[in-house]
Each structure stands twice: as C-alpha cells, then as structure tokens.
Structure 1
Amino acid sequence: MEDKELLLKVRNPETRGYGFNLLVRAYQQRVYWLVRKMVIDHDDADDITQEVFIKVHKAIDQFREDSQLYTWIYRIAT
C-alpha cells in the first residue's frame, strides 16, 4: 500500500486504528532491524520499536509529507 493511502486511513477517524495497524505492518520489520543494529539485544530492540510506533501514533497528524513516511519514522527511531 502506498504511503498516501496509509496516511489517509490513519488520519480518518473512522479508519484510524485499521490504518495504523497497516502502517505498523508495513514498517515494523525495517524499524526493528534499524534499532537492533543500534542496541543489539532482541528484547531491547522490541521495546524500542514499540516506543517508536507509540511516538508515531501520537505525532502522525504532524507529519507534513515533506519526506517519505519511512524517513520521518526513521528520524523518530534515531
């Protein structure tokens, strides 16, 4: 699914939960391995990945689409 479609679903109050689930599925592995390279420990990487997506959820309405969605998530993760 394209980022624009994901954002439409996440930003629509009626489909926000479903859209966010799709967003997590689309980017969870990439974020996990990015974090895992930094912290090495699996459990720590899982916890940090979860924290990243909590921050994404809270801030998604502030995403201005000046960059790719993953680039924005990457900045949150690092």
Structure 2
Amino acid sequence: MELAALNRKPAAENELNWVTATFMALFHVGAVVALFFFTWKALFVSMFLWWVSGSLGIGMGYHRLLTHRGYRTPKWVEYCL
C-alpha cells in the first residue's frame, strides 16, 4: 500500500510534536535535578506512595472491582481507582 493511499506524509516530512518533546525533555531534566535534592525521607515517602498506588490501583481497582465485580463503590471511587 502506498503512502498516498494512506494519506500520510513520509517520515522525513513529519513535524515534531513540540508539546511531547518539551514534556519529555523537562521530565529528564527533572530526573537529573532530583538527584541533587535527594533525602532519605523523600525516598521512603515515594516508595510508600508507589506501593499504595500499585496495591489500590491494580489489586483493588482493576482486578477485584473491574474484573470480578467483587464489591460495589460509588462512581467517584471507581474513577479514582
């Protein structure tokens, strides 16, 4: 199938998505800058929040609620999970 049939530009003519490129660049700059602001307290808090969000989001939200319909919640709680 030809590119004309798909109505797409060749890869060399594709424009750069500046919003995505800016976000990606700032995310990586932020990761490097975060190394200079390291504290053990922040590390433990971030690990705890990562664990809680993984447990609630996957374990309760997706698996038990959406897959098995194991319990009922208000819609706003379902959207948060």
- Tell me whether the two structures share a fold, i.e. TM-score over 0.5: no
Larger Rg computed on CA atoms: 2
Task: Give the TM-score normalised by structure 2.
Answer: 0.29
Structure with more contact order per residue of length (Cα contacts < 8 Å, sep ≥ 6): 1
Task: Give the TM-score normalised by structure 1.
Answer: 0.30
